[in-house]
Structure 1
């Protein structure tokens, strides 16, 4: 796993607003504090989320973009790209690969953080179809698409030069590496709480996920009382 001081730029690709804040916002804060430029790519606007049926789906999309933008600012991120795919309808295919490849070539990151491309049979919630398709699309964009000058030649003619990512960090899936986020935990929670439209009971959510991050710390071998986020790190060089 590359150390923050070895990284100039990182890109986080997730299916929905708030996915990054549950899975990696503490790590993002660690990176931005170290001077890493971090960008977010959101495949959908999350318009199928929330619980207020009086809010139109068009309104919800705008609300969730605003919430994600505020959440990103809490951890030092100001560059966000929204691809605008339908929430609940993300499909792994050439369109998604093309769009994520363009963002990779634009951002030129050493590290891409994303969701698992595999279904986890132990977690229905962790295997949302949009998450899996996003993980698959990002994997294919990292290799072979973004680095191949002959893939999507219109990107090259538009000025998006090929780019090779060094590492893919997959959130939570079969984790091999642990990031201590204890000193960033409150910023992570401020980011999570920006997603007002998604939380029926913010206090209960915070209590539940605080324990989750403590458990991830224990799973990663950190001293008792330390909180963590965990990743499967894949060498893409």
Structure 2
């Protein structure tokens, strides 16, 4: 481990929660890798510029998390640039809104696509970053599960199943990568400005937000910044926390 400021690689960091994580880590003194697909490169460039304006080194890392070679190349490029890799945040995710009861509306291809991004992509990034995180001496990973993966709700059955798998993967990886790397997950509820805002039309999005404002015990919506703050805590905070899936859902789980 060096005396340089720590470095974190964040997938899905061009928009939403991932972008909020990037700037929050920069403000906390971390150097940042903003992972993106080519079609969100402009947004990723803007996030990098924001991190640099804060005074931290940051760079765009193009990666397709469903492609193992791409994951390995991204991890190597980031560590080569920064000289170290101390944290990994697996924020890349995907979904489509499909009624849970309409099983015929959920083709196998959509189930596979969702699983490939949300589960396989998370695993492949962990595998690609393992050696660098071990070299760090302080390596830590945060995966994004979801309250959907705990209670079976959410945008689709495929999404709920994939996020349940991310929770299980987190526990497995925490055991497998100890004692050198800590692995935890956050299971957010609905996040304003998160993934739904990019896949729903305005009217449908407003209806979803109204539903959560009504049903959550805390009558408010989460923000990406709140999730980013918890992410930093788990990556940089107490060294004794691993294998945890932490719910952050304004109390929605209290409804049973």
Higher relative contact order (CA 8 A, sep 6+): 1
Higher helix share: 2
Q: Which has the higher strand share?
A: 1
User: If the TM-score is normalised by the length of the shorter chain, which range does it land in?
Assistant: 0.3 to 0.5
